Structure 1
Amino acid sequence: MLLQPLPTATASAAAPPRLGECAAGELCLWAGTDFSGARQTHELAGTDIESCVPLPSGTSAQALANRTGRPVTTYQSRECAETGEFETYPGGGTWVPRSPYRARAFKIWEN
């Protein structure tokens, strides 16, 4: 009887993405999914709380990390309109490798 080697295991699911680099106190937004592409960072010191902050014209974010310590809402619309998609992420260290929509603006909220 000829013995056949057992088949080797193959990864059926993709490995989870590596977390993007984002320091404590920052909101980091990446142009591509899985924390890829150009990264923008925003800190509380340079951002008006509870004000709509549109991303630069022609840009959007598909991944984000919220390390501000405050809730952050991202918006599909550049005007923070709630008629499009929007989602609020806790500020204690939320990592989102694939946003359900292209974020074009955000608001940082008081706790």
Structure 2
Amino acid sequence: MLLTALPASATATATPATKPAASGPKLGACGPGKLCLWPKPDFKGRAWTHELATTDVDSCVALPAGTSAQSLANRTGRPVTAYQSAECEETGEFETYPGKGTWVPQTPYEVRAFKIWER
């Protein structure tokens, strides 16, 4: 399931037609300009947070050895590709997520590395 952010102009009050389902996951806390990855589905566990200022763009960034992420939020403003391979190999699973506010409560595979793209 892929969730995207509401535009800043959206109202904060929910109407019966727009009220979120009670059974849906709560979005993880991830500030503007950041990529956040959680070790468990539904944004659970301690998140790894990355910013453009401290991350090489167009470079493979592996998560700490022996770890993986199962949910993510991309608020970098740039596309991010999440890889099953810790070396960003395309022989395993990978998927690119838009950067304008994308929350993924459960990735289709364990993410072990990512790339933030120039655009």
Q: Which interval holds the TM-score relative to the shorter structure? A: 0.7 to 0.9
Equivalent residue number for residue 48 of structure 1: 56
Partner secondary structure for residue 60 of structure 1: coil
- TM-score normalised by structure 1 residue count: 0.87
- TM-score normalised by structure 2 residue count: 0.81
**Amino acid in structure 2 at the alignment position of 1:63:** S
Distance of 2:115 and 2:74 partners within structure 1: 11
Which residue of 9, 31, 45 maps to 2:39? 31
Q: Which runs of 4+ in 1 moved over 3 A?
A: none
- Unpaired runs of 5+ residues, structure 1, are 1-12
Rg (Cα) greater in structure: 1
- 1:107 Cα deviation after fit: 0.1
- Unpaired runs of 5+ residues, structure 2, are 1-20
TM alignment of 1:4-23, pairs within 5 A: 15-23=23-31
Equivalent residue number for residue 68 of structure 1: 76
Q: Aligned pair 1:82/2:90, yes or no?
A: yes
| Paired residues, number | 99
**Deviations for 1:41-78, whole angstroms, at most 9, x for unmatched residues?**
00000000000000000110000000000000000000
Distance of 2:97 and 2:24 partners within structure 1: 20
Distance of 1:48 and 1:34 partners within structure 2: 27
Give the share of equivalent positions with the same residue, in percent. Answer: 71
Partner secondary structure for residue 29 of structure 1: strand
Taking only aligned residues, the RMSD between alpha carbons, in angstroms, comes to 1.1
Equivalent residue number for residue 109 of structure 1: 117
